[in-house]
Amino acid sequence: MARDVPIIGTLKTLKADYALDVRVFGTLNTVAAREVASDEFREQNNRHFQTNSSLKSFELDVFSGEICNENKTKGNMSLDLHIISQEPVKKHGTGVYIRENGQTLELKTMEEVRAHFPGKDLSHIHEFDYEDESFWHGNITHNMGKMAREVPVEGTNLSLYDLLWQPEDHGFNSAGSPCYRELVLKGYLYLRAHRQELLPLNPDNGWGHYDLLLTFTEDFLLHLIRAGDDCRIEAGV
């Protein structure tokens, strides 16, 4: 049996017959992931699981059946914002990822997995402890970018979009930067205070909403304040 290898799954979409396959491909055991795939999907993509047992992240396009490594990924449908630690961070989870309400989320417990996949054979899935470099990771649909652009940051020409989606483009690389923390706080306070003004910018397709952006920004800010000065910011778009 292959050794468990941490994999972070960034899912482009969940659709029809592949919904379970997409989610379970986030499992850490490559053999188990291969076993749960449908015959057709396994036939198309078996070579990836055979050759990429140490793959750290992947993006799965259900419509094309293509699995791309992080260096080949393009056209992502969401923002992945990270606070990266210089020291390993202890984690606990199942390695099963779902795409829900404009976010990609890991199911942390078997109870959550069973709730999302009732009646499925999940004998190959289990909870486990692992370590990685991510002090915090948040994912949010690009649909919320329009609203974030309309959130000004007091005293600057920046918007909340600049701070969350493009921090490195504006010279913000360090989580320990007092300036960056203060600017994110200003953006969050404006966002929280102007709910009625911003609600009309909710995506028409229902994928994402004001409260999602608010909680995403708040969670990022709280972890930003707690992060060590040597942590860095990375935004993957």
The three-class DSSP label of residue 35 is helix
Q: What is the model's pLDDT at position 83?
A: 96
Domain range annotation of the chain: 8-138, 142-236
| pTM for the model | 0.65
> So what's the pLDDT on residue 164?
98
The first and second tokens of residue 202, run together, are 């909710």
pLDDT score of 175 more than 60: yes
In this prediction, residue 88 has a pLDDT band, given cuts at 50, 70 and 90, of confident
Strands (E), the chain: 8-11, 57-61, 66-69, 78-93, 96-100, 103-107, 128-141, 232-236
Query: What is the band of 205 on the pLDDT scale with cuts at 50, 70, 90?
Result: confident
pLDDT(151) > 60: yes
Structure tokens at 169: 């483009």
Q: Give whichever of 79-88, 102-111, 209-218 has the largest mean pLDDT.
A: 209-218
How far, in Å, CA of 131 to CA of 138, rounded?
17
